[in-house]
Structure 1
Protein backbone atom coordinates (compact mmCIF):
# COMPACT_ATOMS: atom_id res chain seq x y z
CA UNK A 1 0.00 0.00 0.00
CA UNK A 2 1.26 3.49 -0.85
CA UNK A 3 1.96 5.89 1.99
CA UNK A 4 -0.13 9.06 2.03
CA UNK A 5 1.60 12.10 0.58
CA UNK A 6 3.63 14.21 2.98
CA UNK A 7 2.08 17.58 3.80
CA UNK A 8 3.81 20.55 2.22
CA UNK A 9 5.11 23.18 4.63
CA UNK A 10 3.62 26.56 3.79
CA UNK A 11 3.71 30.06 5.29
CA UNK A 12 0.07 30.64 4.26
CA UNK A 13 -2.06 32.15 7.02
CA UNK A 14 -5.27 32.33 4.92
CA UNK A 15 -5.01 36.12 4.49
CA UNK A 16 -4.72 36.28 0.73
CA UNK A 17 -4.47 39.93 -0.29
CA UNK A 18 -1.76 40.94 -2.73
CA UNK A 19 -0.38 44.43 -2.24
CA UNK A 20 -0.19 46.15 -5.62
CA UNK A 21 2.70 48.36 -4.54
CA UNK A 22 5.09 45.62 -3.34
CA UNK A 23 3.61 42.65 -5.23
CA UNK A 24 3.60 40.62 -2.00
CA UNK A 25 0.78 38.84 -0.22
CA UNK A 26 -0.07 40.73 2.97
CA UNK A 27 -0.55 37.42 4.82
CA UNK A 28 2.53 35.40 3.88
CA UNK A 29 4.75 37.90 2.00
CA UNK A 30 5.11 35.61 -1.03
CA UNK A 31 4.73 36.76 -4.63
CA UNK A 32 1.92 35.45 -6.84
CA UNK A 33 4.33 33.24 -8.87
CA UNK A 34 5.71 31.78 -5.61
CA UNK A 35 2.20 31.05 -4.35
CA UNK A 36 1.09 29.53 -7.67
CA UNK A 37 4.16 27.30 -8.00
CA UNK A 38 4.55 26.39 -4.31
CA UNK A 39 3.55 22.73 -4.67
CA UNK A 40 6.04 22.22 -7.52
CA UNK A 41 9.04 23.60 -5.62
CA UNK A 42 11.48 21.32 -3.83
CA UNK A 43 11.66 21.29 -0.04
CA UNK A 44 14.95 23.21 -0.27
CA UNK A 45 13.47 25.85 -2.58
CA UNK A 46 10.48 26.35 -0.26
CA UNK A 47 12.79 26.56 2.77
CA UNK A 48 14.91 29.20 1.02
CA UNK A 49 11.89 31.34 0.26
CA UNK A 50 10.53 30.93 3.78
CA UNK A 51 13.86 32.01 5.25
CA UNK A 52 13.63 35.33 3.42
CA UNK A 53 9.99 36.10 4.20
CA UNK A 54 10.52 38.06 7.45
CA UNK A 55 12.76 40.56 5.65
CA UNK A 56 10.08 41.15 3.02
CA UNK A 57 7.73 42.69 5.57
CA UNK A 58 9.80 45.88 5.38
CA UNK A 59 8.75 46.16 1.71
CA UNK A 60 5.09 46.58 2.73
CA UNK A 61 3.92 49.84 4.29
CA UNK A 62 3.09 49.14 7.99
CA UNK A 63 -0.43 50.56 7.77
CA UNK A 64 -1.28 47.91 5.16
CA UNK A 65 -0.35 45.26 7.72
CA UNK A 66 -2.48 46.92 10.39
CA UNK A 67 0.54 48.17 12.32
CA UNK A 68 -0.64 51.80 12.51
Structure 2
Protein backbone atom coordinates (compact mmCIF):
# COMPACT_ATOMS: atom_id res chain seq x y z
CA UNK A 1 0.00 0.00 0.00
CA UNK A 2 1.13 3.50 -0.66
CA UNK A 3 1.12 6.13 2.12
CA UNK A 4 -2.04 7.66 0.63
CA UNK A 5 -3.91 4.36 1.09
CA UNK A 6 -2.39 3.30 4.42
CA UNK A 7 -4.69 2.78 7.40
CA UNK A 8 -4.25 5.70 9.79
CA UNK A 9 -4.01 5.25 13.54
CA UNK A 10 -7.55 5.80 14.89
CA UNK A 11 -6.42 7.21 18.24
CA UNK A 12 -8.22 10.46 19.14
CA UNK A 13 -6.41 10.97 22.48
CA UNK A 14 -9.36 9.90 24.61
CA UNK A 15 -7.54 6.93 26.12
CA UNK A 16 -9.98 5.39 28.57
CA UNK A 17 -11.25 1.83 28.67
CA UNK A 18 -14.99 1.19 28.91
CA UNK A 19 -16.49 -0.09 32.17
CA UNK A 20 -16.00 -3.70 31.09
CA UNK A 21 -12.32 -2.96 30.34
CA UNK A 22 -12.80 -4.32 26.84
CA UNK A 23 -12.59 -1.37 24.44
CA UNK A 24 -11.05 2.11 24.43
CA UNK A 25 -13.79 4.72 24.64
CA UNK A 26 -11.90 6.95 22.23
CA UNK A 27 -10.88 4.70 19.36
CA UNK A 28 -12.83 1.51 20.04
CA UNK A 29 -9.80 -0.80 19.96
CA UNK A 30 -8.81 -3.45 22.50
CA UNK A 31 -5.60 -3.12 24.51
CA UNK A 32 -4.01 -5.83 22.34
CA UNK A 33 -4.98 -3.98 19.15
CA UNK A 34 -3.59 -0.72 20.55
CA UNK A 35 -0.36 -2.37 21.65
CA UNK A 36 0.21 -4.19 18.34
CA UNK A 37 -0.85 -1.34 16.01
CA UNK A 38 2.68 -0.32 14.95
CA UNK A 39 3.65 -3.93 14.17
CA UNK A 40 0.46 -4.78 12.25
CA UNK A 41 0.39 -5.12 8.49
CA UNK A 42 -1.94 -2.86 6.52
CA UNK A 43 -4.47 -5.71 6.01
CA UNK A 44 -4.44 -6.39 9.78
CA UNK A 45 -5.06 -2.70 10.48
CA UNK A 46 -7.94 -2.69 8.00
CA UNK A 47 -9.46 -5.69 9.81
CA UNK A 48 -9.20 -3.87 13.14
CA UNK A 49 -10.88 -0.79 11.66
CA UNK A 50 -13.73 -2.94 10.30
CA UNK A 51 -14.13 -4.53 13.73
CA UNK A 52 -14.12 -1.10 15.41
CA UNK A 53 -16.92 0.07 13.10
CA UNK A 54 -18.97 -3.02 13.93
CA UNK A 55 -18.46 -2.80 17.71
CA UNK A 56 -19.28 0.88 18.13
CA UNK A 57 -22.83 1.46 19.28
CA UNK A 58 -25.21 2.95 16.79
CA UNK A 59 -26.06 6.47 17.88
CA UNK A 60 -29.50 7.77 17.22
CA UNK A 61 -30.30 11.40 16.65
CA UNK A 62 -31.34 12.97 19.98
CA UNK A 63 -34.93 14.09 20.26
CA UNK A 64 -35.30 17.60 21.59
CA UNK A 65 -37.88 18.31 24.24
CA UNK A 66 -39.95 21.44 23.99
What TM-score do the two structures reach when normalised by structure 1?
0.67
Measured in 2, the distance between the counterparts of 1:53 and 1:14 equals: 16
1:15 is matched with 14
Structure 2 residue 54 is matched with structure 1 residue 44:
no
Is this contact kept in 1: 2:17–2:23, CA < 8 A?
yes
What TM-score do the two structures reach when normalised by structure 2?
0.69
Shift of 1:9: 1.5
1:32-53 Cα distance to aligned partner (Å, 9 max, x none) = 0100110000011001110221
Matches within 5 A, 1:1-68: 9-21=8-20, 23-58=22-57
Measured in 1, the distance between the counterparts of 2:25 and 2:12 equals: 10
**Structure 2 unpaired stretches of 5+:** none
Q: Which runs of 4+ in 1 moved over 4 A?
A: none
Structure of greater relative contact order (alpha carbons < 8 Å, 6+ residues apart) = 1
Alignment RMSD (CA, Å): 2.4
Is this contact kept in 2: 1:15–1:27, CA < 8 A?
yes
